Structure 1
């Protein structure tokens, strides 16, 4: 028995209910871990079935197939002579648990159910699982049964304690295990990407090991496993407050294994100085499951150990470039479609979507160049060419990405030129189409039926909805018309702020198959486009950034756009970002929001002006909330997303007058006015 242990953690791109593929990726991760000398391998949460099974967790099939995969893992020669820690659902006494299963050499050592459920934001774990509530309590019956419950694994040379995802946030869990002698802590997670979030996980891991010492292994799911969220990897290993190994946050690799060799005596020395006064026997110590196995070896004295490294974080602009791009690629390669189609208007939103697709092509070409055979195989399947090898992002973009500018009599030459210029620089197959004939045909039918005149908003909506119909027609038949097989996925391009106010036409070209920017604010999208100018040399974006956002649905005046988004909404995009965060994150109703904003905006707006903006927002929000019931599935990137399908659970039928709430605001404005006079 030695003093140095080599440990492995990983990020896996698992897919909900893809038991075959999930098994292959788990085995590959174990194989890589063993090749690096690891004696312990940790995987992501619910990796056997995939985290996003949702109501499939109710089905007995999901439990049955998970056990069948577990049997394959136990019997495989790949998993011998290494402790494997895998995640799966298990039913015990007719109660369903989210569990870790630790096994070695065909024997299950213990089953550890999750004790703290994630039941907020995009998570609904209490819908499918029960938490294990018996602290440090284990069920064992006879010699042939497996310990089930809150226990730790005691090897010949160390002690390993398990946490599962949200338990990392529990202020008591880690420290009490550490004070009872646990030296290695593991956390299997399914943590999704949100802008500006990655540093929080690193800080939690570092702070946990600073307080009482120890080695911490963090594993995470990666990729789109079938839903709106993207799990962003970033597996890591830390010791005594220092990160010593960190995986990629965004990657096209389906399997990434991070290993680290660490000295167990470093943990003991750290605790001897820092924690000795607090080391004591707990009133109810951890239940230890003993195994005749060592993570270290007697001849490891010359084995080098991993040293601290600086944690790496991406800027928000890089996150937008990488996260949605990886999500799009997972969706495309798993959908069986041959590419994407985007109605490209020449504005910030659709241009951002186009740039994300271009970023995806950059990542694919780089992965192929780096020798990623899985990516190359998937690319060839998408383009239906077994001999194809992408040479350049522009060339690949031309094969899998079609953009279309749909002009009407209200469209300007400037937006048409900007859309064409961007399409040329990214390499998409681009079309210019005029929709006036279709719009006039529909309005002619209406006139014949009713004899009535046209109304402005209805006219705008007809234009918008015609674009949606054409987008799907081109997506289904566009490749066929060019003599190529397959269909295209239609991409949407409505940002999170427009969704908040409902500033889009229901079933217009914002209606699509998926939307990579539906959870991103206009402010962040503008910063992203400025980043793309430099990162990808897309100079056409400069003109797009300088132009005022417009839907171009109203007639031009002297050939120029007369309609702007912010004027139509009555709020600026920066104001909407503030309001969105207050509504969702701070959980403010109209009155609470007003009370906060009179201080936030006091230098620019009077209390009466703030009141009018708040009331205007809630009127628009409540009138248009119904649109969220049919909103295109969007990449989840913001914690104030209004997507009611999974994240923002609020009614869609409101009393839009908000009489009591608005009266409370008006009373406060009057009090402020009287106070000023006195």
Structure 2
């Protein structure tokens, strides 16, 4: 016997400083989650302002606009009767923190600041944020007036605390905290927390999904419980691609998998299952619990079958290389307002690989428009697992098609094949000179025909000679090119070290 709860986790394609667009995507994800009975909705890290704001985090306007979006979320009827967990920057005692804000029915329940920063590789969180280094400590946070007017609250709990509902206890992690040897979920699990959430902005690297899955599975293997993982999706205006991969784990098993490479702006995954009741020891310093008069379950004890683990669908390295950059290209193209891509196609491996990635982008777009990629379980599936088919949402296909039409400049256009779409969005040109070979020219033309790009041959000899002429006038000399190679040796002759020929 147990009680059924429905939880929703999201991958959102948020954009740095796109406050209006980010707000609409957050509301859309909450609306979808509520439509499927979810009582708790988790979103990605810093979803209100976007993760890649960089030094704009220093600006007071970024904090101001984030609170303005939070106010609209609190006032919206869409956010009623569901616990919403959103991410935004907050200044507390004149210190800037990367925070989660949990609210319900126009009341902020708690604010949880990030405790462990990501500050390696391409991450520089310590440049903009301070970490909350006071374990199990909670202070009062004075809300801005614009929020007080909506909530009627002067202060709310701020710090390392968990949420205690009528039927369970929910604890929060944030991105890098999962990867740390002293992850907060360890202590929370020992103190009886049953549902763990992680809001992340984790970018795509080859085989990184394997690490995420293993870490999330292990988070509930020892102490039991449910783990929700949300992640940013898209390029966020940066040069990296955040690859989604929202997932749900229970008792060490993955039970729901979100798409890693998708063109959708909003991707929601829900889980219906039995809340674990592990018999755990209390920690000497128990978690500070914020009590909320709300239940995630229906309140009736019902029979629930054992959860059904799924086999994670890992992409091969070749698929990741193709799909990751392809998703980034589309996200950047549709947001930049440009009409397509131009590529000098030499027939060599570098430019040919780039052309194939653009073609992969066109394949993904056509799949999304025609029948939706990553189609999942039916909504009427009687099993405990419920995966929402976000691609059936009416705004999904129309948004992709609307973006395509805007890019190609035709209001009634609908692509019939990747090759045809490639012809509208992608122009390749072979830049020939007196040093070019017929083989490279043929290879470039053949590849362009295969992928459908608009292809041109351009002779650049005159441009090259013009540049060289300017160089010679300015410098008084003519560029000289030297080719180094080993000479042909006669049979029986000894090689002379260092011998070269120059031209």
Q: Which interval holds the TM-score relative to the shorter structure?
A: 0.7 to 0.9
**How many angstroms apart in 2 are the aligned matches of 1:159 and 1:416?**
65
**How many angstroms apart in 2 are the aligned matches of 1:81 and 1:305?**
28
Alpha-carbon shift at residue 304 of structure 1 (Å): 6.5
Partner in structure 2 of residue 426 of structure 1: 451
Whether the 8 Å CA contact 2:227–2:248 is kept in 1: the answer is yes
Q: Does 1:445 align with 2:470?
A: yes
In angstroms, what is the RMSD of aligned CA positions?
1.8
Give the TM-score taking structure 2 as reference length: 0.87
Partner in structure 1 of residue 186 of structure 2: 175
Deviations 1:608-636 (A, max 9, x none): xxxxxxxxxxxxxxxxxxxxxxxxxxxxx
Alpha-carbon shift at residue 115 of structure 1 (Å): 0.3
| Correspondent of 2:264 among 253, 263, 267 | 253
**How many angstroms apart in 1 are the aligned matches of 2:41 and 2:133?**
27
1:146 aligned counterpart, secondary structure: strand
**How many angstroms apart in 2 are the aligned matches of 1:446 and 1:113?**
58
Deviations 1:73-105 (A, max 9, x none): 001000100000000000011100000000000
Alignment of 1:69-80 (within 5 A): 69-80=69-80
Going from structure 1 to structure 2, the CA distance change for 1:379 and 1:179 (only over 3 Å counts) comes to same
Alpha-carbon shift at residue 245 of structure 1 (Å): 0.4
Alignment of 1:285-364 (within 5 A): 285-299=286-300, 301=302, 306-364=307-365
Going from structure 1 to structure 2, the CA distance change for 1:139 and 1:448 (only over 3 Å counts) comes to closer
| Correspondent of 1:153 among 150, 157, 163 | 163
Deviations 1:311-338 (A, max 9, x none): 1110010001111000000110111100
**How many angstroms apart in 2 are the aligned matches of 1:321 and 1:447?**
43
**How many angstroms apart in 2 are the aligned matches of 1:305 and 1:55?**
48
**How many angstroms apart in 2 are the aligned matches of 1:310 and 1:211?**
20
**How many angstroms apart in 1 are the aligned matches of 2:368 and 2:270?**
22
Partner in structure 2 of residue 382 of structure 1: 407
Query: Which of the pair has the greater relative contact order for Cα pairs under 8 Å at 6+ separation?
Result: 2
Alpha-carbon shift at residue 300 of structure 1 (Å): 6.4
Which piece of structure 1 moves more, 115-124 or 446-455? 446-455
Deviations 1:422-478 (A, max 9, x none): 000100010111111221222233444555343116xxxxxxxxxxxxxxxxxxxxx
Deviations 1:329-374 (A, max 9, x none): 0110111100000010101110000000000000111111126111
| Correspondent of 1:186 among 179, 189, 197 | 197
Alignment of 1:223-238 (within 5 A): 223-238=234-249
Whether the 8 Å CA contact 1:117–1:131 is kept in 2: the answer is yes
Q: Does 1:164 align with 2:167?
A: no
Deviations 1:463-508 (A, max 9, x none): xxxxxxxxxxxxxxxxxxxxxxxxxxxxxxxxxxxxxxxxxxxxxx
Partner in structure 2 of residue 68 of structure 1: 68
Deviations 1:535-555 (A, max 9, x none): xxxxxxxxxxxxxxxxxxx7x
Number of residues of Structure 1 aligned to a counterpart in Structure 2: 451
Q: Does 1:11 align with 2:21?
A: no
Going from structure 1 to structure 2, the CA distance change for 1:450 and 1:281 (only over 3 Å counts) comes to closer
Going from structure 1 to structure 2, the CA distance change for 1:446 and 1:93 (only over 3 Å counts) comes to closer
**Structure 1 gaps, min length 5:** 273-278, 458-553, 555-561, 568-678
**Structure 2 gaps, min length 5:** 143-152, 373-396, 487-503
Going from structure 1 to structure 2, the CA distance change for 1:450 and 1:304 (only over 3 Å counts) comes to same
Partner in structure 1 of residue 418 of structure 2: 393
**How many angstroms apart in 1 are the aligned matches of 2:400 and 2:226?**
34
2:99 aligned counterpart, secondary structure: strand
Alpha-carbon shift at residue 170 of structure 1 (Å): 2.4
Alignment of 1:528-607 (within 5 A): none
Partner in structure 1 of residue 32 of structure 2: 32
Whether the 8 Å CA contact 1:2–1:297 is kept in 2: the answer is no
**How many angstroms apart in 2 are the aligned matches of 1:189 and 1:312?**
20
Whether the 8 Å CA contact 1:399–1:429 is kept in 2: the answer is yes
Deviations 1:537-588 (A, max 9, x none): xxxxxxxxxxxxxxxxx7xxxxxxx99xxx9xxxxxxxxxxxxxxxxxxxxx
Going from structure 1 to structure 2, the CA distance change for 1:71 and 1:447 (only over 3 Å counts) comes to closer
Could you say which structure has the higher helix fraction? 1
Whether the 8 Å CA contact 1:6–1:261 is kept in 2: the answer is yes
Partner in structure 1 of residue 461 of structure 2: 436
**How many angstroms apart in 2 are the aligned matches of 1:306 and 1:388?**
45
Whether the 8 Å CA contact 2:87–2:99 is kept in 1: the answer is yes
**How many angstroms apart in 1 are the aligned matches of 2:109 and 2:331?**
35
Going from structure 1 to structure 2, the CA distance change for 1:290 and 1:451 (only over 3 Å counts) comes to closer
**How many angstroms apart in 2 are the aligned matches of 1:349 and 1:88?**
40
**How many angstroms apart in 1 are the aligned matches of 2:468 and 2:140?**
74
Whether the 8 Å CA contact 2:2–2:274 is kept in 1: the answer is no
Alpha-carbon shift at residue 283 of structure 1 (Å): 1.6
1:212 aligned counterpart, secondary structure: coil
Going from structure 1 to structure 2, the CA distance change for 1:182 and 1:437 (only over 3 Å counts) comes to same
**How many angstroms apart in 1 are the aligned matches of 2:21 and 2:478?**
58
Give the TM-score taking structure 1 as reference length: 0.65
Q: Does 1:220 align with 2:237?
A: no
2:342 aligned counterpart, secondary structure: strand
Whether the 8 Å CA contact 1:175–1:211 is kept in 2: the answer is no
**How many angstroms apart in 2 are the aligned matches of 1:227 and 1:452?**
42
Q: Does 1:54 align with 2:86?
A: no
Partner in structure 2 of residue 83 of structure 1: 83
**How many angstroms apart in 2 are the aligned matches of 1:30 and 1:305?**
28
Partner in structure 1 of residue 479 of structure 2: 454
Whether the 8 Å CA contact 2:471–2:478 is kept in 1: the answer is no
Alpha-carbon shift at residue 153 of structure 1 (Å): 0.2
